[in-house]
Amino acid sequence: MKKVLVTGGAGFIGSHIVEELIQKEFQVIVIDNFSTGRNENIENLPIELYHYDITNPNVVDLIVSLNPDYIIHQAAQVSVAESVNNPLYDENINVKGSLYIIDAAIKANVKKIVFASSAAVYGNPVQLPVSIKHPTSPESPYGLTKLTVEHYLKLANSIHGLSYSILRYSNVYGPRQDAKGEGGVVAIFSDRLTDNVSPTIYGDGEQTRDFIYVKDVAAANVKALMVNENICVHVSSGTTISINALFQMMKEAAGSNVQPIYKQVRQGDIRDSILSNDLSKSLLNWEPTFELYQGLKETIQYSLKNKQIPILK
């Protein structure tokens, strides 16, 4: 049985990757400091769990001693706003923490490291759909630290022969996404709709996004382990929907009559985003399998179920 170490495995995307790995019969080790990850995302799963911080230099020795065959690196500070307010904090986790993981990957001689990058490396796109060759021009420290790690991975490959797969995600959505974060519009709509409360739409709602279901992202990560070449690809739907149309679809899925509240567009919000996924289809042999409506329905069901859990005092 091949051993895969998942950093950030207790988080939203990481926990779905863990489930996909178990289903594909990998042995799974998780390292997470539970800053945003949650125990209930992974409880009862047959994994080896380390409550550990990737910014702790001893993480390198820990990983070497665990001797994984592969590493999937998801742990990160994921808030764009936090990166703007506190770039050193962002740099410490997203660059320094990632460098420890890369160092460990080299020393443990892993067959492949898969890295969670982001559309944030492009900043405001000048050409749509965004292809992987689109110039990178991050507009936040978060985008810059993701791009920096991509470069470190390429260097680790040329200096040490470390094999990598870089996956640049579009807007990921699905069960377990935190509605408190500023990024997950689907999680926020789902939370509000199931509470019968009006959500806020910033701007006229005609801005568009490329939403990819978290289970498709998990499948892409597992496929990315097995690719021989070093690749950098998009994990996206390759399609686009306006925030207004998304809201209508979610209202229907939730059977709700709630109306949104419109507020002024937020500074720095990009108008349109869509990432081409042609390369991931050919290089990863992967394509999205979940229809948006189906994924939204599952997300809403998760929100509803979560609200039925009594809070223990």
Ligand X SMILES: NC(=O)c1ccc[n+]([C@@H]2O[C@H](COP(=O)([O-])OP(=O)(O)OC[C@H]3O[C@@H](n4cnc5c(N)ncnc54)[C@H](O)[C@@H]3O)[C@@H](O)[C@H]2O)c1
Tell me the C-alpha distance between 161 and 170, whole Å. Answer: 28
CB of 75 to ligand X, least distance (A): 4
Per-residue DSSP letters for 215-245?
Answer: HHHHHHHHHHHT-SS-EEEEES-S--EEHHH
CB of 32 to ligand X, least distance (A): 5
CB of 256 to ligand X, least distance (A): 24
Is the Cβ of residue 37 or residue 260 nearer to ligand X in the bound state?
37
Q: Are strands 208-209 and 200-202 parallel, antiparallel or unpaired?
A: unpaired
CB of 95 to ligand X, least distance (A): 12
Per DSSP, what are the bridge partners of residue 73? 7, 115
CB of 177 to ligand X, least distance (A): 7
Rg for the chain, CA atoms, rounded: 19
Helix, strand counts (H, E) of the chain: 11, 13
- How many Cβ atoms are within 10 Å of 49's Cβ, its own excluded? 17
Both tokens of residue 234?
Answer: 């998009």
Is the Cβ of residue 80 or residue 162 nearer to ligand X in the bound state?
80
Is the Cβ of residue 4 or residue 10 nearer to ligand X in the bound state?
10
- By the criterion CB under 6 A, which residues form the site for ligand X? 8, 10-14, 32-37, 53-55, 74-78, 93, 97, 116, 118, 169, 171-172, 183
Q: What are phi and psi of 116, to 5 degrees?
A: -85, 100
- Which of the following is catalytic: 52, 142, 169, 213? 142
Is the Cβ of residue 13 or residue 300 nearer to ligand X in the bound state?
13
Known active-site residue 142: yes
Is the Cβ of residue 69 or residue 82 nearer to ligand X in the bound state?
82
Of 8, 9, 12, 7, give the one whose Cα is nearest residue 187. Answer: 12
Q: Are strands 231-235 and 164-169 parallel, antiparallel or unpaired?
A: parallel
Both tokens of residue 204?
Answer: 């006229």
Q: Provide the annotated active-site residues.
A: 142
